[in-house]
């Protein structure tokens, strides 16, 4: 069964306003039309896609399709004075190598999912036409001049979406027989007496019609494109001989030191592990093994700088670091701002994005017995 897509893109989008038709507006670095075309080409059953455009938009169309290198995208066809005329022109352009099935899709629906196409194609096994739709769930009222008149029943009402699928010969004949405009191709099919199956649509498959729709689409693109990662880190070091401890890059006088292969900065180690965890790239021991003599006595800022550089290399920005130190002594509060500054410098971010706080374990456990210090950290990474 050969399936072709036909995208209707000859309209002017007057309700959105502006000089550029809505299908050629940019949405996340790509035009609305290009996203609609890609959605059809992404389905493995689709063997060809043709777009009906306004003759005035030939240059715009060429620019919009520059990023789509797919032999299944056929040359565009000039559309007509209304939607029905544009569809008819597109169907006639497909006719010389006629598909078995045609999926007619609005250029202004850039978020078409594969599951919607699957449902339409499945319905066409049993009917000559099918379309996705959503039930009307809001209360309906008739009114005029800004005043409500009377409620209208919503039972049996559906909000039509695209792609609307048809057996090719049947819809081509229906369009040839149809005269005048039509709300959509289902209307043309029903006027020709075709049975039309209704399948579940998708709220995400909305049509961009006015500025509010475009604002929603840009928000949706931002949410879908953004990669947000969270990583956790935990580290412990025991007390040993010494007269100072290094915590989050700051040396604090103390009656004992911390034991470790490097400078035993339990705070920086936990933060480093949190960043590596967010990247899903192991832990500090894998990157800087204690068996390697080059790290003996090393400043832990080296480890944090390396983890931050790896995040940058992977395209992530570190948006927040949070470290909690668990100890009875030394006192952390007076040094917290200095620690924030040291962590921020090593991570390459501003101190406002770094939190350092402390707590005790209420004299319980190894920290309560002052046998060592523990640290917990969380890192948030974002890739636009």
pTM, full prediction: 0.64
Distance CA 206, CA 22 (A): 14
**Is residue 237 a contact partner of residue 225, using CB atoms and an 8 Å limit?**
no
Which of 13-17, 227-231, 242-246 is predicted least confidently?
13-17
Judged against a pLDDT cut of 70, whether residue 301 lies above it is answered with yes
The number of beta carbons lying within 10 Å of the beta carbon of residue 186 is 22
**How much is the average pLDDT of 297-321?**
92
Q: What is the pLDDT of residue 66?
A: 93
Q: Cα separations (Å) of 116 from 131, 163, 175, 239? A: 9, 8, 24, 62
Q: What is the pLDDT of residue 208?
A: 93
Instruction: Pick the closest to residue 128 from 93, 168, 97 (CA basis).
Output: 168
Judged against a pLDDT cut of 90, whether residue 145 lies above it is answered with no
Judged against a pLDDT cut of 90, whether residue 17 lies above it is answered with no
Judged against a pLDDT cut of 90, whether residue 285 lies above it is answered with no
List pLDDT tens digits, range 20-63: 889 999 988 899 999 999 999 999 999 999 999 999 999 999 99
> How does the average pLDDT of the chain come out, rounded?
93
> What share of the chain in percent tops pLDDT 70?
97
Using 50, 70 and 90 to split pLDDT, how confident is the model at 265?
Answer: very high
Interstrand relation of 164-167 and 101-106 (parallel, antiparallel or unpaired): antiparallel
**Is residue 103 a contact partner of residue 5, using CB atoms and an 8 Å limit?**
yes
Q: What is the pLDDT of residue 288?
A: 87
| Radius of gyration for the alpha carbons in the chain, expressed in angstroms and rounded | 31
Most confident of 147-151, 186-190, 219-223: 186-190
Q: What is the pLDDT of residue 13?
A: 65
Distance CA 182, CA 104 (A): 14
Judged against a pLDDT cut of 70, whether residue 15 lies above it is answered with no
**How much is the average pLDDT of 62-75?**
94
Judged against a pLDDT cut of 70, whether residue 16 lies above it is answered with no
Using 50, 70 and 90 to split pLDDT, how confident is the model at 376?
Answer: very high
**How much is the average pLDDT of 95-99?**
96
Using 50, 70 and 90 to split pLDDT, how confident is the model at 292?
Answer: confident
**Is residue 264 a contact partner of residue 295, using CB atoms and an 8 Å limit?**
no
Distance CA 1, CA 15 (A): 38
Distance CA 161, CA 41 (A): 18
Please give the residue that has the higher pLDDT: either 298 or 166. Answer: 166
Judged against a pLDDT cut of 70, whether residue 224 lies above it is answered with no
């Amino acid at each position: 069964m050969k399936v072709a897509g036909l995208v209707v893109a000859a309209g002017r989008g007057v309700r959105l306003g502006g000089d550029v038709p809505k299908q050629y507006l940019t949405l996340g670095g790509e035009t609305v039309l290009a996203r609609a075309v890609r959605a059809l080409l992404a389905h493995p059953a689709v063997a060809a896609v043709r777009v009906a455009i306004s003759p005035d938009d030939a240059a715009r169309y060429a620019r919009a399709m520059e990023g789509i290198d797919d032999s299944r995208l056929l040359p565009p066809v000039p559309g007509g004075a209304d939607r029905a005329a544009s569809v008819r022109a597109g169907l006639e352009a497909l006719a010389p190598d006629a598909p078995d099935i045609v999926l007619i899709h609005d250029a202004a629906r850039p978020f078409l999912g594969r599951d919607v196409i699957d449902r339409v194609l499945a319905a066409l096994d049993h009917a000559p036409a099918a379309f996705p739709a959503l039930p009307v769930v809001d209360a309906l009222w008739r009114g005029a001049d800004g005043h409500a008149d009377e409620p209208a029943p919503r039972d049996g009402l559906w909000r039509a979406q695209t792609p609307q699928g048809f057996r090719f010969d049947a819809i081509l004949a229906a369009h040839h027989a149809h005269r005048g405009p039509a709300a959509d191709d289902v209307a043309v099919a029903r006027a020709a007496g075709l049975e039309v199956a209704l399948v579940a649509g998708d709220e995400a498959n909305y049509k961009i019609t006015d500025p509010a729709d475009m604002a929603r689409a840009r928000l949706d693109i931002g949410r879908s494109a953004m990669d947000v990662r969270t990583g956790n880190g935990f580290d412990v070091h025991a007390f040993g001989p010494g007269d100072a401890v290094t915590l989050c890059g700051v040396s604090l006088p103390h009656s004992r030191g911390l034991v470790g292969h490097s400078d035993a900065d339990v705070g920086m180690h936990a933060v480093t592990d949190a960043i590596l965890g967010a990247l899903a790239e192991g832990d500090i021991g894998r990157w800087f093994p204690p068996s390697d003599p080059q790290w003996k006595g090393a400043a832990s800022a080296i480890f944090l700088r390396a983890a931050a550089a790896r995040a940058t290399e992977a395209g992530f920005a570190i948006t927040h670091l949070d470290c909690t130190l668990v100890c009875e002594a030394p006192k952390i509060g007076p040094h917290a701002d200095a620690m924030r500054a040291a962590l921020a410098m090593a991570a390459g971010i501003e101190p406002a994005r770094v939190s350092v706080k402390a707590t005790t374990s209420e004299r319980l456990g190894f920290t309560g017995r002052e046998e060592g210090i523990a640290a917990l950290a969380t890192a948030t990474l974002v890739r636009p």
